[in-house]
Structure 1
Amino acid sequence: MTRIATSDEYAELRDGSTLVIQRWFPGSAARLWRYLVDAELRRKWFADGIMQSAAGTALELVWRNDDLSGPDDPRPEGVGGEQRMPSKVIAFDEPHRLAILWGQGQVIFDLVEKGSRVLLTITHTGLDASKIGIFAGWHSHLDILSAEIEGSHRPSFWLSWTRLRDEYLARLAARQTKSA
């Protein structure tokens, strides 16, 4: 069954170069924090890479999205099997904020605990608005994280990414039509 995202699960483009996506998760901020900083947990939903617990430390993120996909879900043509990105931790405020230098911008993970749930806000700056695959990527990775934390069926990454990329393209086209 294909899961349809609710409107509040979609990433938004702000200021032309900043992606913001939010998701609620069950449990504590400390529990969710481990999925951000522990390489073994992070690789289950996003990217591998040993992270030091301090700002100013180097980090290499390693994506192996085929490991997040089923055998009947091949990666799109032209996409490599492994991607690496040298980076740097620029803020490490456990369990509230993690910021990482990311290409020409940065990615900030903010966690706010409310009762028995945690709101995760990801802010990715320095984007080119044409990079719609990044929107679909964050959305797909968060869907996998949600399933991992809830113990439910994990969506296959590339099937989800392809569907969401098409949805984001349609949403962007509709937004441009409204503003024209």
Structure 2
Amino acid sequence: MSDYGVVIDTATVRMERTLSGSVDQVWAYLTDSEKRSTWLASGIMELKVGGQVTLAFDFKCLTKEITPERFRPYETGHVQSGHVTQCEPPHLLCFTWNEKNGQGSEVRFELKPQGKKTLLTLTHSKLPNRKEMVNVSGGWHTHLDVLEDRLSEQEPRLFWNTFLQMEKEYQASIPEYPAANA
């Protein structure tokens, strides 16, 4: 299994990771604001269909390195909202991502036990274009790397250094699509 995302269609990317820890431990890192803040973003997550999701990103808490110039507006205080679309604790969580005017892409986490570890399958769908697919692929790849480090009780890798490398790799590997989806 590769850690890299796989393009499912012109609007969907899927990633799989085998993570240290039980399904319950991984579920806690997805749903508990304090734990989630160590690898993604803090914020409200009402674990019911229609429940509110607020992700408050604070990249200064994720990494000790200097934020690249183009990402400085998102360095602290970047907030996005969505709603839970499916919730079956502790195995399935889906929510809208960066919802605006009732529209957004959708993130789906599926957790399956693998002995003492957990297989996490992340599917990000309804992406509006290739540019967004490249961005979320690099972002999820990096955030999942940090989650893996947290669950393994290792010092988290440098976020921006990893993200910039992943962004280049996904830029090169995700195919160009016709203009309607570019």
2:157 aligns to what SS in structure 1? coil
Which residue of the partner structure matches residue 41 of structure 1? 35
Structure 2: which 5+ runs fail to align?
Answer: 177-182
Are 2:106 and 2:126, in contact at CA under 8 Å, matched by a contact in 1? yes
Higher strand share: 2
Shift of 1:145: 0.3
Rounded Cα–Cα distance in structure 2 between residues aligned with 1:166 and 1:10: 13
Whole-Å separation in 2 of the counterparts to 1:45 and 1:117: 18
Runs of 4+ in 1 over 2 A off after TM superposition: none
Q: Among residues 6, 12, 25, which one is paired with 2:19 in the alignment?
A: 25
Gaps spanning 5+ residues in structure 1: where?
1-6
Name the count of aligned residue pairs: 167
Question: How far apart in 2 are the matches of 1:125 and 1:79?
Answer: 27
Preserved CA contact (<8 Å) 2:44 2:52: no
Q: Give the conservation status (yes or no) of the 8 Å contact 1:66–1:157.
A: no
User: Aligned equivalents of 1:44 and 1:133: distance in 2?
Assistant: 20
| Cα contact 2:18–2:117 (8 A) shared by 1 | yes
- Matches of 1:48 and 1:75 in 2, distance apart? 22
Identity percentage of aligned residues: 28
Specify the alignment match of 1:124 in structure 2: 124
CA RMSD, aligned part only? 1.6
The equivalent residue for 2:144 is 142
Match of 2:180 in 1: none
Moved more, 56-65 or 15-24: 56-65
Q: Normalization by structure 1: what TM-score?
A: 0.86
TM-score by length of 2: 0.85
Identify the range of structure 1 (12-21 vs 72-81) with the bigger mean alpha-carbon deviation.
72-81
